[in-house]
Chains A and B, each alone.
Chain A
Amino acid sequence: MKHEPMTQQPRRTDPKTPRKKGDAAFDLWLQRGLHKLFDDVAREPIPDELLRLIEDDREGGSGQGADAPGPEPGPGGGSSGSSGGGPRPTGGR
């Protein structure tokens, strides 16, 4: 995963709070740190078991999910128990 400049860095939403030079430096440091923390995870080989699961499904056609958990509400909505309606993870403020 390449290390690109942090083009999507958050911006101050309050115009009364001017962006400090240190913010850009912190953004850069944060970007590098997060890449160090997460890039290795992305680069790790995919477990054979998982690849086999996908390849078996590819060869067998759809509808192989008999043992799979029930489908979660997809992006277009749907429901699975009480989790429909776009719930948020806990801990958000």
Chain B
Amino acid sequence: MKPTFHDQLIAILPKLRVQALALTRNRAAAEDLVQDSVCNALSAQTSFIPGTNFPAWMHRILRNRFISNLRKQRDTADIEDVPASAFACEAPHEDRLALKELGTAMDRLPADQREALVMVVVHGLSYEALAEQTGCAVGTAKSRVFRARRQLEAWLLGEHNDGRVGRLGNQTAVRAARDLVARARLAAADNAVTSDS
């Protein structure tokens, strides 16, 4: 049996929450944004054509709602509210610091870049799907992800051309991030050796 409009709406809620948090950077604001978007979707459900791309339709409603809210209240909420649970894992201390630095750096990205990066990396969207769900050209979608990634790398690893370290200032976290990258590089090399042999 084909899922109904309401089934699809419930199924996509987790992804909407992630998108909302990526846009708002604030848990409470994200929950409000999801709820408002659901209300909008329910009100506008007759305009949805069954069989067409429901996720794209829904993500765009949420995005448009975010933009609409942003216009109403130009000053956004605090950016302190990175998911607390993210730091409650049993990662080593320096890993947690690096993760916190990543959260801080994500907060500093422009909303459209942050959203694009999360939807591609966390949701696994293709650039084409990202473009459809955010209402932009594929080239724009690629560019947003590329710029977000490059900016995070510069901030977190401090890979400026002149050798200066990143701007975030937490040297311990920067070291931790570098260490993690070095370990990931070794793991990738091991995998390459394994697959070659």
A-side residues, CB < 8 A to B, are 1, 4, 6-13, 21-31, 33-44, 46-47, 49-51, 53-55, 57-58, 62-65, 67-76, 78, 80-83, 86-93
Contacts and interface: CB of A to CB of B under 8 A. Distances in A.
A24 to B, nearest CB: 6
A64 B125 CA distance: 32
Most chain B beta-carbon contacts within 10 A, residue among A44, A47, A63, A73:
A73
B91 to A, nearest CB: 8
Contacts of B126: 8
20 contacts: A13-B146, A27-B149, A28-B184, A29-B177, A29-B184, A37-B103, A41-B30, A57-B42, A65-B40, A65-B42, A67-B39, A68-B36, A74-B57, A74-B64, A75-B135, A83-B68, A89-B67, A91-B111, A92-B110, A92-B112
A10 B10 contact: no
A28 B183 CA distance: 10
Given A8-B126, A42-B17, A37 B99 contact: yes
Most chain B beta-carbon contacts within 10 A, residue among A41, A70, A73:
A41
Given A33-B99, A34-B117, A86-B135, A41 B21 contact: yes
B124 interface: yes
A93 to B, nearest CB: 6
B94 interface: no
A21 B40 contact: no
Contacts of B124: 4, 7-8
Q: Which 10 A-B pairs have the closest CB atoms?
A: A65-B43, A91-B110, A68-B39, A25-B185, A71-B44, A72-B64, A42-B14, A10-B146, A58-B6, A89-B111
